[in-house]
Structure 1
C-alpha cells in the first residue's frame, strides 16, 4: 500500500477553475481498481492551497493511475493555473482504519 500526498498552490482567481478541473481526476481515480482513497483537501486559512491525499494498493497502481485519460486531462488543465510546481510526498501505511475493511 502506498500513500501519496500532493501539495498544490493555485494562482489567485483560479481556485474554482482548479476544482472543476480536479473533479475529472477525482471522479476517474475513485473508479480505478488500484485506488483505495482519494481526497481533495483545501487549507481553511489559504483558499489557494490544496493537498491531495491518495491511497493506492501498490506503487504499480499509482503508475497506472498516471497513465489514465482523467489524470492527464486534469494535469493539462491545472498546469497553467498553478502558482508553482506540485510537490509530492510518499508514505507507507503502518496503521489505518481502512486496512481492516
Structure 2
C-alpha cells in the first residue's frame, strides 16, 4: 500500500474551476483498478487550500495513474491555477 498526499494552494479566482476539474479527475480515478481511495478535501478555514489523499495498491498503480488520460487532462487544466508549487508526500506502511 502506498499513500500519497498532495496539498494545493489555489489562486482565489480559480477555486471554482479547480474544484470542478478535480471532481472530474476524482470520479475517473476511483475507477482505476489499483486505487483504493482518492479523497478530495478543502480546508475549512482557507477555501483556497486543498488536499488530495490517494491510496494505491502499489508503486506501479501510482505510476499508472499518472499515465491516464483523465490525469493528463486534469494536470494540463489546473497547473495554471496553483498559487505556489504542490506539496507532495508519499507514505508507506511501517509494518505489514
TM-score, normalization by structure 2:
0.94
Mean alpha-carbon deviation: is it higher for 59-68 or for 20-29?
20-29
Residue of structure 2 equivalent to 1:81: 81
Which residue does 2:90 correspond to in 1?
Answer: 90
Deviations 1:7-35 (A, max 9, x none): 10100121110011112210111000000
Structure 1: give runs of 5+ residues left out of the alignment.
96-101
SS in 1 for 2:12: coil
1:85 & 1:35 partners in 2: Cα distance?
24
The question of 1:34 aligning with 2:22 is answered no
Matched, 1:8 2:12: no
Aligned mates of 2:73, 2:66 — CA distance in 1: 11
Unaligned runs of 5+ in 2: none
| Aligned residues between the structures | 95
SS of the aligned residue for 1:54 comes to strand
State the alpha-carbon separation in 1 of the partners of residues 73 and 86 from structure 2: 16
Query: TM-score if structure 1 supplies the norm length?
Result: 0.89
Runs of 4+ in 1 over 2 A off after TM superposition: none
Query: 1:94: how far off?
Result: 4.6
Please report how far the alpha carbon of residue 62 of structure 1 lies from its aligned counterpart in structure 2 after TM superposition: 0.3
Once the 2 structures are TM-superposed, how far is the Cα of residue 48 of structure 1 from its aligned partner?
0.2
